[in-house]
Structure 1
Amino acid sequence: MNIIIPMAGMGSRLRPHTLTTPKPLVPIAGKSIVHRLVEDIAEVVNQKVEKIGFIIKESFGKEIEEKLKKIASSVGAKGHIFYQEEALGTAHAILCAEEIMQGNIIVAFADTLFRADFTLDPDKDGIIWVQKVEDPKAFGVVKLNEQKEITDFVEKPEQFVSDLAIIGIYYFKDGDFLRKELRYLLDNDIKDKGEYQITNALDNMLKKGATFTTGEVSEWLDCGNKDVTVHTNQRYLEFIKDKDLIAKSASTENSVIIPPVYIGENVRIHNSVIGPHVSIGDDTVIEDSRIRNTIVQTNTTVRNANMENSMIGNFVTYETRPDDFSVGDYNKIIQ
Structure 2
Amino acid sequence: MKIVVPMAGRGSRLRPHTLTVPKPLIPVGGKPIVHRLVEDIAKTSADKVTEIGFIIGDFGKEVEQELLAVAETLGAKGKIFYQEEALGTAHAVLCAEEMLDGPVVVAFADTLFRADFTMSPDVDGVLWVKQIDDPSAFGVVKLDAEGTITDFVEKPKEFVSDLAMIGIYYFKEAEKLRTELKYLIDNNIIKGGEYQLPDALRRLTEKGTKFKPGEVNEWLDCGNKAVTVFTNQRVLEFDKDKQLVSDKATINNSVIIPPCYIGDGAVIKNSVIGPHVSVGAATKISGSVIVNSIIQKEAEITNANIKDSMIGNKAAVLKQASDISIGDFTTID
TM-score when scaled to structure 2?
Answer: 0.99
Counterpart residue number, 1:247: 246
Q: CA deviation at 1:146?
A: 1.1
Task: Answer whether contact 2:41 2:117 (CA < 8 A) is retained.
Answer: no
1:180 is aligned to 2:179: yes
Change (3 A) 1:68 1:171: same
Letter in 2 for 1:230: V
Counterpart residue number, 2:266: 267
Task: Answer whether contact 1:2 1:52 (CA < 8 A) is retained.
Answer: yes
1:25 is aligned to 2:25: yes
CA RMSD in angstroms, aligned pairs only: 0.8
Task: Answer whether contact 2:3 2:53 (CA < 8 A) is retained.
Answer: yes
Counterpart residue number, 1:6: 6
Q: CA deviation at 1:117?
A: 3.7
Counterpart residue number, 2:163: 164
Distance 1:215 1:44 in 2: 13
Letter in 1 for 2:186: D
Counterpart residue number, 1:100: 99
Counterpart residue number, 1:78: 77
Q: CA deviation at 1:157?
A: 1.5
| Range with bigger deviation, 186-195 or 295-304 | 186-195
Distance 1:217 1:99 in 2: 29
Could you list the per-position Cα deviations for residues 186-243 of structure 1 after superposition, in whole angstroms to 9, with x for gaps in the alignment? 0001122321111111111111111010001100000000000000000000001100
Task: Answer whether contact 1:123 1:173 (CA < 8 A) is retained.
Answer: no
Counterpart residue number, 2:304: 305
Counterpart residue number, 1:237: 236
Counterpart residue number, 1:227: 226
Counterpart residue number, 1:51: 51
Q: CA deviation at 1:158?
A: 2.0
Distance 2:82 2:240 in 1: 36
Percent identity at matched positions?
61
Counterpart residue number, 2:282: 283
Counterpart residue number, 1:34: 34
Q: CA deviation at 1:275?
A: 0.5
Letter in 1 for 2:18: T
Task: Answer whether contact 1:5 1:52 (CA < 8 A) is retained.
Answer: yes
Letter in 2 for 1:295: I
Distance 1:198 1:180 in 2: 12
**Structure 2, unaligned stretches of length 5 or more?**
none
Task: Answer whether contact 2:140 2:152 (CA < 8 A) is retained.
Answer: yes
Task: Answer whether contact 1:44 1:120 (CA < 8 A) is retained.
Answer: no
Matched residue of 1:76: which SS? coil
TM-score when scaled to structure 1?
Answer: 0.98
Q: CA deviation at 1:118?
A: 5.3
Distance 1:298 1:193 in 2: 39
Task: Answer whether contact 2:5 2:53 (CA < 8 A) is retained.
Answer: yes
Matched residue of 2:47: which SS? coil
Task: Answer whether contact 1:125 1:172 (CA < 8 A) is retained.
Answer: yes
Letter in 2 for 1:29: G
Match runs of 1:132-171 below 5 Å: 132-171=131-170
Matched residue of 2:228: which SS? helix
Task: Answer whether contact 2:116 2:215 (CA < 8 A) is retained.
Answer: no
Task: Report the count of equivalent residues.
Answer: 333
**Structure 1, unaligned stretches of length 5 or more?**
none
Matched residue of 2:292: which SS? strand
Distance 1:290 1:278 in 2: 11
Distance 1:122 1:83 in 2: 31
Task: Answer whether contact 2:272 2:288 (CA < 8 A) is retained.
Answer: yes
Could you list the per-position Cα deviations for residues 263-283 of structure 1 after superposition, in whole angstroms to 9, with x for gaps in the alignment? 000000000000000000000
| Range with bigger deviation, 149-158 or 97-106 | 149-158
- Give the 4+ runs in structure 1 shifted more than 3 A: none
Letter in 2 for 1:218: N
